[in-house]
């Protein structure tokens, strides 16, 4: 069977998106093998993850079903969900506000269609931080922040000198984390401006950007320095983060950035 797909990227974080809104194309028990096959950068399409856009299980507009390239299911992906939102807006329904059914719950996405002087952008309300603590992992001091998926953030004077793959693997697999954690190395440029480099779970090389990790790092720096708005420079591009209180006085994280198409096609897969 030939499976239609769209390749997309957000801040250099690239994804394969499969539209299953009207029909499930790949059975759930075969999705992991499909993801591993097409995510391979030498023998497949190549991606940092695969998004299945589906009918929602709850009161939402669509379901965001996301897999890491190793075939494991991920709780959330801040860059991936912006690609999901753009595709939904372009091909399912032109709504400026979308409710996404995710493993973290229902997330609100605000769409800013492309204008003459500005690229298409999506603002993601990532919701509340589930866990936050200062801790050590493999000898590195930093912050553990769970925003639906787990992150460890540690500060460096210059992230250009970090061996991200080696140190990231050590931190990611540290036994202080129950299910591993995405590792992030940040460099402070100003009160509200940082550089970041990332090594994620389920990925074999450095990731150019991680949306939830950028949110987690911003939250850690908010706790440390008190600022509520941040400009974060990832290797794949810049993202903006805001931390605001909702009507209940709870802190919520908002991530804003673009999402772009790369190409589309069909891939053979036996279902």
- Residues serving a catalytic function are 77, 210
Distance, first Cα to last Cα, the chain: 7
HEC readout, 233-259: EECCEEEEEEEEECCCCCEEEEEEEEC
Q: Where are the alpha helices (DSSP H) in 110-210?
A: 164-172
Number of H helices, E strands in the chain: 4, 16
CA distance 18 to 178: 31
Q: Is 166 exposed, middle or buried (0-12, 13-18, 19+ CB in 10 A)?
A: exposed
Phi-psi region of 138 (alpha: psi -120 to 50; beta: other; left: phi over 0): left
């Amino acid at each position: 069977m030939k499976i239609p797909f769209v390749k997309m990227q957000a801040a250099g974080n690239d994804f394969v998106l499969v539209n299953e809104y009207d029909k499930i194309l790949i059975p759930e028990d075969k999705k992991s093998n499909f993801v591993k096959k097409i995510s391979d950068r030498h023998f497949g399409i190549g991606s940092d993850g695969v998004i299945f856009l589906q009918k929602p299980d709850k009161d939402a507009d669509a379901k965001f079903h996301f897999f890491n390239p190793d075939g494991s299911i991920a709780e959330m992906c801040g860059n991936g969900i912006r690609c999901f939102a753009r595709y939904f807006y372009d091909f399912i329904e032109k709504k400026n506000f979308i409710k996404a059914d995710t493993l973290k719950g229902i997330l609100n996405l605000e769409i800013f269609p492309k204008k003459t002087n500005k690229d298409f952008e999506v603002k993601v309300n990532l919701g509340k931080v589930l866990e936050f603590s200062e801790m050590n992992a493999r000898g590195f001091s930093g912050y553990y922040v769970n925003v639906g998926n787990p992150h460890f953030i540690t500060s460096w004077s210059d992230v250009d000198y970090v061996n991200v793959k080696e140190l990231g693997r050590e931190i990611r697999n540290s036994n202080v984390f129950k299910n591993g954690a995405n590792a992030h190395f940040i460099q402070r440029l100003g009160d509200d401006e940082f550089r970041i480099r990332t090594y994620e779970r389920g990925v074999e090389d450095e990731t150019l950007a991680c949306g939830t990790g950028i949110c987690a790092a911003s939250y850690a720096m908010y706790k440390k320095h008190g600022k509520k708005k941040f400009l974060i420079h990832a290797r794949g591009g810049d993202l903006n983060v805001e931390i605001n209180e909702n009507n209940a006085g709870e802190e919520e994280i908002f991530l804003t950035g673009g999402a772009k198409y790369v190409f589309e096609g069909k891939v053979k897969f036996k279902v």
